[in-house]
Structures are given as C-alpha cells and as structure tokens.
C-alpha cells in the first residue's frame, strides 16, 4: 500500500523538538518500530515522525486501519484525544489541543442545529402534545475544556489570550518553556514590537516585563468605595444626635474617581514609555 501524507494532519499536532526527534530516532534504530502506524484508508493519521524515520533507515513497520472515521473532523478529534492522553505533552500544548476540540465540537453543534431546523421546516408541525426530543448537549464550556486538558479554567483563558494576541516569537517562547503561561498572557497585552523586544531580552527580562505590567495594573485599579455607615453610628462623641453626614454625593464620588483614574492613566503612560526604553536598552546591549 502506498501511504499518503496529508500536510494538514501532519502539521496539526505540535512538531517534535530536535531533542525529541533524535531520541525517537535512537529508539527506533535500537528497538524497531513497535507501535503500528494508524491509517484512514491510505492516509497516515498517527505516526508521521516514526514513518519518516523508518523510511530513512529502512526500518520495518506495521499499519492498522481505524474504520470509525467518517470525516476529517473525526480524524482530528481522535488525534486530539490521543495526544491529550500522553504524559509528554506540555500544559500549553494540552490547552491548545483542547481549544481546537472545543472549536470542532461547537461547529458541529451549529451545523446539527441548522440541519434539524431545516428538516423541521420541511415537514408538517407536530401535534401540540408531542414534545421534540432535546438535542444532545455538547460539552464546550471553558470548564469542560479545562477538565479535558487537566488544566484550570484560568489557564485555559490565558492560553486563549496568548493565541489571540501573542506574537509568534512569544508563542515560541511559551512552547520552549522560556516563559510560563501566566507570564506570557501578561506580556501578550503589550504591542507586538514590545513583545518581540521582550522575547529578545531573554527569560529574566520576560519575567521582569510581566512583573512590571502586573504592578501597573494593580496601581490602576480604582480604590474601593468606603463602607456606608449605618444610621445612628455617625454621631459625634459628645452625644450629639444630629443627622450623620453621608459623605460626598454619588456624583461627587464619581468625579473624584475619574480624576484619580486620569492621574493614574498619565502615570501608567509614563511608566510604559520608560519600560519601552528599558527594553530597547537591554536589546541593544545583548
């Protein structure tokens, strides 16, 4: 059988690092290819690295057919579940895979609902007492995805942010373990040029950039409103029973908060400009 390589399936899962590929090659040369390659008809689904190494060195291998696949989405879901079960997959990779699974299931649910509505519109309406069978629930909430990836919901949110706003350089730093998911999600809030410069500064500078961004955010939070004083507890010590002072009005309080936020915004802009200058200095010196 002539095995076919689908480029999309080959690149769907995170590629091996050079060290991982070298370790796999040594293992295959020493022990042979013990696990069968998985095919969908004549398309290779699982074992792209093993197949390439076996072809290179003439190592015999076995194949097995998975007859449960009905579509390319079935293949992708199987690949995702297969890799989520492996210990060697990093937290970031598991999160990315789980989010891909979420997208596929959500798209399927939309297509199924549209198909059901179209079918219902083409037939006579059911009797009033007849109840339609509820559609099966597709588990695509953040909690479900986090559970499948064995991660927290907060970590899934951070990975989503990295996917949406991080530059390729920052994403690669997360994959390589140079920066944590938490810190990368924070640095991803910077403009692209600043993200690239931060990555170029190395691990310590990435950590420093994330720390300074968190400090800026903490400083920009508006102060908590003072607790209301219960009636009768605001009397003066001398026993005066006059009406207690209620403090500034709501409008005055809002004006005060706006003024404070403007001051903090100006301070943050200055700190951001200083941070950029420090990034540029460190990059030039490296």
pLDDT digits (tens, 9 = 90+) for 3-60: 999 999 999 988 888 888 999 999 999 999 999 999 999 999 999 999 999 999 999 9
Rounded CA-CA distance 89/159 in Å is 15
Neighbours of 142 (CB within 10 A): 16
Which structure tokens are listed for 11? 């690149």
Contact call for residues 37 and 50 (beta carbons, < 8 A): yes
pLDDT digits (tens, 9 = 90+) for 126-152: 555 545 445 445 556 778 888 888 899
Q: What is the pLDDT of residue 140?
A: 64
Kindly report, residue by residue over 175-203, the tens digit of the pLDDT: 888 999 999 999 999 999 999 999 999 99
3-state secondary structure of 241: coil
What are the distances in angstroms from CA 280 to CA 178, 191, 194, 276, 286?
20, 14, 9, 6, 10
Structure pTM?
A: 0.65
Q: At CA 107, angle to CA 103 and CA 109, rounded to 5?
A: 120
Q: Are 188 and 165 in contact (CB under 8 A)?
A: yes
In angstroms, the CA 176 to CA 191 distance is: 21
- pLDDT value for 97: 93
Contacts of 1 (CB under 8 A, 6+ apart): 42, 63
């Amino acid at each position: 059988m002539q095995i076919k390589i689908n480029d999309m399936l080959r690149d769907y899962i995170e590629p091996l690092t050079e060290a991982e590929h070298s370790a796999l090659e040594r293992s295959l040369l020493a022990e042979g290819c013990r696990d069968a390659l998985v095919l969908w008809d004549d398309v290779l689904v699982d074992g792209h690295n093993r197949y390439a190494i076996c072809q290179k060195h003439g190592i015999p291998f076995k194949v097995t057919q998975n007859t449960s696949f009905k579509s390319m989405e079935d293949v992708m879901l199987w690949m995702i579940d297969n890799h989520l079960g492996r210990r060697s997959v990093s937290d970031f990779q598991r999160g990315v895979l789980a989010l891909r699974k979420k997208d596929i299931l959500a798209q399927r649910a939309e297509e199924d609902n549209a198909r059901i509505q179209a079918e219902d519109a083409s037939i006579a309406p059911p009797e009033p007492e007849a109840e339609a069978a509820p559609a099966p629930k597709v588990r695509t909430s953040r909690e479900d995805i986090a559970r499948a990836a064995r991660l927290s919901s907060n970590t899934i949110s951070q990975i989503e942010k990295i996917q949406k706003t991080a530059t390729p350089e920052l994403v690669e730093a997360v994959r390589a373990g140079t920066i944590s998911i938490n810190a990368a999600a924070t640095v991803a809030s910077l403009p692209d040029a600043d993200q690239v410069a931060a990555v170029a500064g190395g691990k310590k500078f990435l950590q420093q950039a994330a720390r300074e961004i968190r400090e800026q955010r903490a400083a920009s939070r508006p102060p908590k409103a003072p607790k209301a004083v219960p009636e009768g507890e605001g009397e003066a010590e001398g026993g005066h029973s006059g009406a207690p002072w209620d403090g500034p009005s709501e409008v005055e309080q809002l004006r005060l908060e706006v003024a404070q936020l403007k001051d903090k915004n100006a301070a943050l802009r200055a700190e951001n400009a200083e941070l950029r200058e420090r990034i540029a200095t460190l990059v030039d010196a490296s």
